[in-house]
């Protein structure tokens, strides 16, 4: 038996999704490598209190696009907020400005080559295993390529 085109499309789709998503990591920000990098901002206890009215009570970090960095503040278009209880809230790019005194650390998101390689390798291996197990365990075919006819009289 051969692998159906639907199954093959599903495997290829899963592999493509893993390739496109890649794996990212956050690294300390020395200087922004791009005009508007994706950043994670970790807030101080003071920042948690100051940002309560804007982001909600108990915020420990937020992620988004860094629009502006001055000596005393950061302006970020917020995409996600994480709270003390580890719950997250998705945002749609609302811009907030936070003072440097409220920021414990700010990190820039970058593609991790090692993690991405591992994901791609795993996806390819899974795809090959899927195809091989379907071909080996799927059953045989008759001389004309159709299914093997059932044995009569046994």
Beta bridge partners of 74: 69, 98
Q: What's the pLDDT tens digit per position in 42-94?
A: 999 999 999 999 999 999 999 999 998 888 999 999 999 999 999 999 999 99
Q: What's the pLDDT tens digit per position in 14-25?
A: 656 655 555 766
Give the strands of the sheet with 73-83, arranged side by side: 24-28, 103-111, 38-43, 59-69, 73-83, 88-99
Predicted structure pTM score: 0.56
pLDDT value, residue 75: 95
CB 80, CB 63: distance < 8 Å: yes
* CB atoms inside a 10 Å sphere around CB 66: 20
Tell which wins on pLDDT, 118 or 61: 61
pLDDT value, residue 102: 95
């Amino acid at each position: 038996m051969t692998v159906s085109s639907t199954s093959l499309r599903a495997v290829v789709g899963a592999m493509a999704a893993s390739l496109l998503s890649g794996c990212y990591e956050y690294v300390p920000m020395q200087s922004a490598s791009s005009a508007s990098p994706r950043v994670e901002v970790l807030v101080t206890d003071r920042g948690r209190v100051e940002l309560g009215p804007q982001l909600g009570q108990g915020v420990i970090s937020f992620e988004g696009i860094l629009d502006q960095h001055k000596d005393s503040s950061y302006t970020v278009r917020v995409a996600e907020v994480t709270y003390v209880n580890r719950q997250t809230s998705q945002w749609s790019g609302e811009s907030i400005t936070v003072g440097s005194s409220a920021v414990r650390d700010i990190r820039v998101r970058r593609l991790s080559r090692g993690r991405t390689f591992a994901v791609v390798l795993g996806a390819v291996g899974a795809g090959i295993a899927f195809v091989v197990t379907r071909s080996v365990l799927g059953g045989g075919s008759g001389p004309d390529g159709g299914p093997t006819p059932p044995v009569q009289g046994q």
